[in-house]
Structure 1
Amino acid sequence: MVDVALWSGLRPLVGGRDSVAVEGGTVGEILDALRRDYPALGPTLDAGVSVVVDGRVIATSLTEPVQPDSEVVLMMRLKGG
């Protein structure tokens, strides 16, 4: 299980919790588990979010490994310009 901290805009979609635990060993598996376990998150995940693992923003790699003790944060998509 991996604890995923949620930015405030996602919390209402998971009953107001600030984090949830899901199974997954990669960023992609975690996103799939979030869609499965918390269907209300699906549209927001599909629109795009940023995943931060141990302080690093994972821009495109769904295969990025995640350890059970990793700090994972799901936040609104960071955009550059």
Structure 2
Amino acid sequence: MSVKVRIPTILRTYTGGESEVTAEGGTLSEVLADLERNHTGIGPRVLDDTGKLRRFVNVYVNDDDVRFEQGLETPTPDGAGVSIIPAVAGGC
């Protein structure tokens, strides 16, 4: 399955400045592996050392937060949009 992955500004150094790239895979895990194969270095910014999504990175397949779906096993149907969004912290 081919999906469009939206890349946040902070990770665009791994995609040659591209804000959106294409990746292949039937699940989020497969999409992230393909993303790493084609844009070396981006994977460790999204996944931790144990292979789980980093705590402060939110990932959506279409409009669904994968943390409330099936995590890395969330299906990524052909034509889906995957968004990687770093969490923003702040306070007063």
Cα contact 2:33–2:43 (8 A) shared by 1: no
TM-score, scaled relative to structure 1 = 0.82
Q: Secondary structure at the match of 1:30?
A: helix
Which residue identity lines up with residue 21 of structure 2 in the other structure? V
Any stretches of 5+ residues in structure 2 without a counterpart? 49-53
Cα contact 1:14–1:40 (8 A) shared by 2: no
Aligned residue in 2 for 1:52: 60
How many residues align structurally?
79
Any stretches of 5+ residues in structure 1 without a counterpart? none
Superposition RMSD in Å = 1.9
2: CA distance, partners of 1:26 / 1:78: 26
Give, in angstroms, the shift of residue 46 of structure 1: 2.6
1: CA distance, partners of 2:45 / 2:32: 11
**1:12–1:28 CA distance, 2 compared to 1 (3 A):** same
2: CA distance, partners of 1:62 / 1:7: 19
Give, in angstroms, the shift of residue 70 of structure 1: 1.4
Give, in angstroms, the shift of residue 42 of structure 1: 2.7
**1:34–1:77 CA distance, 2 compared to 1 (3 A):** farther
1: CA distance, partners of 2:60 / 2:88: 11
Structure 1 position 64 matched with structure 2 position 74: yes
TM-score, scaled relative to structure 2 = 0.74
